[in-house]
Amino acid sequence: MRLLDWLVVAGYLLWIVVDGLRRTKASTGVEGYLLANRSLPWWAVGLSVMATQLSAITLVGTTGQAYADGMRFIQFYFGLPFAMVILSVTLVPFFYRSGVYTAYEYLERRFDVKTRTLASFLFLFGRSMSTGAIISAPAVILSIMFHWNLTLTILAIGGPTILYTMLGGVQAVTWTDVKQMAIVVGGLVCAVLFLILGLPDEVSVGQALHVAGAAGRMNTIDFHFDPKQTYTFWSGVIGGLFLHLSYFGCDQSQVQRYLTAKSLNQARHSLLMSAFVKIPLQILVLMVGVFMFLFYVFNRPPMLFNTEHTAKVEQSARAGDYHALESDFARVYEQRKTAATTMATVEGPAHETAREAFRAATAEMSAIRGRAALIVKDVTGVANYGDKTGDTPKPDVNYVFPTFVTTQLPQGLVGLIIAAIFAAAMSATAGELSATATATVIDVYKRLLNKSESDAHYLLFSRLAVAFWGLVACVVAHVAVQLGSLIEVVNRIGSIFYGSLLGVFVLALTVRRANGHGAFIGLLSGILFVMAFAYNPGTRSVSYLWHNPIGVVVVMVVGTAVSLMTKPQPARDA
């Protein structure tokens, strides 16, 4: 990073913190602090909804995913617009009209306090872990790329976010989200334009996309029904529908966003904004990856992108083997570049011959990368170097975009993209901190521990809760680096809750006879069943997207059965 890049990043951080702190005056009471007095316009809430979902790992990981595996990831979002419509018709009016602060508060009104408390604790456990991962993932990558101190990088992301969220509340979160989304989208558009302008003069955008297609990077839709595949049309539409219903309907980090809207229909519009914009935004993210692939077709890529591990190999006894592979890689790369240029500029049989040569060279480069990754695995002991995403070693995928940014982009644009990575991490973190603080204050402190304090007392406690969860996130982010795969396990457990949580809300809305015992036992049964399903050797290969519909079904069946076997619940105003 050069001086101009540092100035851009520093300017961004200063702008966001000052803007966030300006909102402090508007957050005078608990409702103002946690729900912005239900005063925000739909477009700001809608951008905040998307900013909360889009973390830095989406920005860095999804571009790398498209580089390695193409556009098929887009199918993950095919259920989202349907989910938004269903939620706008069902859960959003219930939440909004009942005046709740948290989604789980509604569960007490419909069932009982134990169901609410269990749901809220599941949310707090899952989110406190995942917020650590949201901070740690970009911090690790940035610290490796720029040789920054890891602890300072975590604090550079977490510190300002805690400060403006703690003082400015949900108003600060929402209005900084709006600006952070602008920076993220601006950075992505600049990256795509730079990549398109960087194509060779003789290769048009259309011809380049045909080259990407020959390497499988333009495979957008796969209609095969295979539960083991995560990115197919059917897993996206059905599994994705349930996942997005759970995320936007039962996760406080999203429910809190649309409860801040100034009316019910504005809350609905904020969700429907994602239905319109989310897929085009993801296409933009994925196109950055596809055009990076094309960039590295016409410009030599590194054999492996993660330089931290290759440096260790250089100092090991396997350095000779590794250098031999690098020579092979350079030779095959030149063959591929020639084939790609021919393919893009020539028609007829020569085009077909060049296409086959391009595909063969791409496969050979992938094989060489695989052998290089195995050397790294032997030297460093990093187990997942044996795994691949598409044709790229798995640990390399998250380093493709940062490597491209730091080695190819001009001064100033590097700073903008780094600011965009910070913006994505901070906006997702701020939403989570605000939501975990709300659940802590409303579902735990005020409901279970201290019911009759003043508004000022709960406001102070809310601010302390933001600071507490912010510090927890920073500590988890730091520990996550050492724990490695354990944090993945924790996040996987978090994804196991989702379908079952949705199941409780579906039970509440659709089964009139359902009672508190049924909901509580149904929720526990759903979680245990999905956990057993996810870790059973016979079924563990089924994509996690299918865990959500399974969780819903188990909660519905068990919850209804237990409700029928137990005493009916007295009528409540749900």
Binding site for other proteins (CB under 8 A): 31, 35, 38, 71, 74, 78, 81-82, 84-85, 88-89, 96-101, 209-210, 212-214, 216, 218-221, 262-266, 268-269, 272, 275-276, 279-280, 283
Which lies closer to other proteins via its Cβ, residue 280 or residue 348? 280
- CA atoms of 230 and 151, how far apart (whole Å): 34
Which lies closer to other proteins via its Cβ, residue 261 or residue 413? 261
Provide the β-strand partners of residue 393.
Answer: 388
**Minimum Å distance from CB 351 to other proteins?**
12
Burial code (b: 16+ CB inside 10 Å, e: under 16) for 258-292 equals bbbbeebebbbbbbbbbbebbbebbeebbbbbbbb
Which lies closer to other proteins via its Cβ, residue 262 or residue 457? 262
Which lies closer to other proteins via its Cβ, residue 100 or residue 135? 100
**Minimum Å distance from CB 275 to other proteins?**
5
Which lies closer to other proteins via its Cβ, residue 280 or residue 538? 280
Which lies closer to other proteins via its Cβ, residue 107 or residue 163? 107
Helix (H, G, I), strand (E, B) or coil at 14: helix
**Minimum Å distance from CB 78 to other proteins?**
7
**Minimum Å distance from CB 321 to other proteins?**
36
Contact between 507 and 519 under an 8 Å Cβ cutoff? The reply is yes
Which lies closer to other proteins via its Cβ, residue 140 or residue 286? 286
**Minimum Å distance from CB 425 to other proteins?**
28
Burial code (b: 16+ CB inside 10 Å, e: under 16) for 39-62 equals ebebebbbbbbbbbbbbbbbbbbb
Which lies closer to other proteins via its Cβ, residue 104 or residue 497? 104
- CA atoms of 187 and 183, how far apart (whole Å): 6
- CA atoms of 408 and 48, how far apart (whole Å): 31
Provide the β-strand partners of residue 388.
Answer: 393
Q: How many residues does the chain have?
A: 574
- CA atoms of 154 and 143, how far apart (whole Å): 9
**Minimum Å distance from CB 100 to other proteins?**
8
**Minimum Å distance from CB 84 to other proteins?**
7
- CA atoms of 86 and 90, how far apart (whole Å): 6
Alpha helices in 198-222 (DSSP H): 205-214
**Residue linked to tokens 């900084």:** 176
**Minimum Å distance from CB 113 to other proteins?**
14
Q: Which amino acid would we find at residue 290?
A: V
Contact between 163 and 20 under an 8 Å Cβ cutoff? The reply is yes
